[in-house]
Amino acid sequence: MSVAVKKIHDLIASPRNVAMFKREVLVCSRLHHPNIMIVCGAVMAEGSPLQIVMELLEGSVGEVIDAAHASGSYLTVYEQLFIAMDMASGISYLHQIRPLPYVHGDIRPSNVLVTRDMKVKVGDLGSAHIIESSLSAGPMSPSYVAPERSSTSSTLASDIYSFGVSLIEIFSGVGPIPEERQTQLALLAPRSHLFMLCSRLIRQKPADRMSAQRCFETLKAAVAENHSKLPSR
């Protein structure tokens, strides 16, 4: 396996960032799933920069979206569906860990990594925490934050909302603007199955949102229905 080394720079080595860095190592060391980033080890010796040794990946889904726009094209149906399905698979795994699920806390395209053949790995788990822990919500881009999270810690439901916003971005190619959430969702109306899926992920009431596992099953069925139209991967 080719590996990369992630270091925490001295300029950002605040107590909070160091704690987040160490938490990422701890969380990743407990997780084993094809759609979760693999951490091979870590170096946290006194006097040395904190380092995480992880599998080498090509970049983030956010970078893939930006590169597609820069080339004057966009992601194919094949790429969109498989990115979405792999994301749902990884998030579903976190949410179904027993006895206590993990909340990711910062789901967005820039925190989801891709391999050269476009397989997706959910990463940047420094904000992740066990669902019953007392940890407060970690830092997050406001564009992906669930409406209820301004006053509470991150939850499984807030993860789902952020995932739904990410899928709207992946399927539409338009970056999220909170004030235009419904307008951006409407861009998916011609693809009714995706419109309905994303609608169920970003509902205002947390209890009304679709689970990551159900989303994964829905996307897997969509891939199966389009199998004859999509190249094998």
Do 90 and 177 fall into the same domain?
Answer: yes
- Measured over the CA atoms of residue 9, residue 11, residue 111 and residue 231, the dihedral's sign is negative
Considering 16, 35, 55, which residue would you say is the last residue of a domain? Answer: 55
Query: Does the pLDDT at position 3 exceed 60?
Result: no
Do 25 and 66 fall into the same domain?
Answer: no
Do 49 and 85 fall into the same domain?
Answer: no
Do 10 and 71 fall into the same domain?
Answer: no
Do 113 and 195 fall into the same domain?
Answer: yes
Count structural domains, the chain.
Answer: 2
Do 209 and 97 fall into the same domain?
Answer: yes
Who has greater pLDDT, 141 or 175?
A: 175
Catalytic residue from among 10, 86, 106, 117: 106
Q: What range does the domain containing 7 cover? A: 3-55
CATH of residue 32's domain is 3.30.200.20
Do 109 and 9 fall into the same domain?
Answer: no
CATH of residue 133's domain is 1.10.510.10
Instruction: Phi first, then psi: give them for residue 139, nearest 5 degrees.
Output: -65, 145
Do 113 and 207 fall into the same domain?
Answer: yes
What b/e string do you get for 133-152 counting C-beta neighbours within 10 Å, with b at 16 or more?
eeeebbebeeebbbeebeee
Average pLDDT of the chain is: 82
Do 82 and 117 fall into the same domain?
Answer: yes
| pLDDT tens profile 158-187 | 999 999 999 999 999 999 999 999 999 999
| pLDDT for residue 198 | 97
3-state SS string for 5-55: EEECCHHHCCHHHHHHHHHHHHHHHCCCCCCECCEEEEECCCCCCCEEEEE
Do 72 and 36 fall into the same domain?
Answer: no
AA identity, residue 143: S
DSSP assignment of 105-148: S--SGGGEEE-TT--EEE--GGG-EETTS-PPP----GGG--GG
CA distances (Å), origin 5, targets 8, 111, 176, 181: 10, 16, 30, 36
Do 11 and 69 fall into the same domain?
Answer: no
Do 42 and 75 fall into the same domain?
Answer: no
| pLDDT tens profile 184-229 | 999 999 999 999 999 999 999 999 999 999 999 999 998 887 765 5
Q: Is 106 a catalytic residue?
A: yes
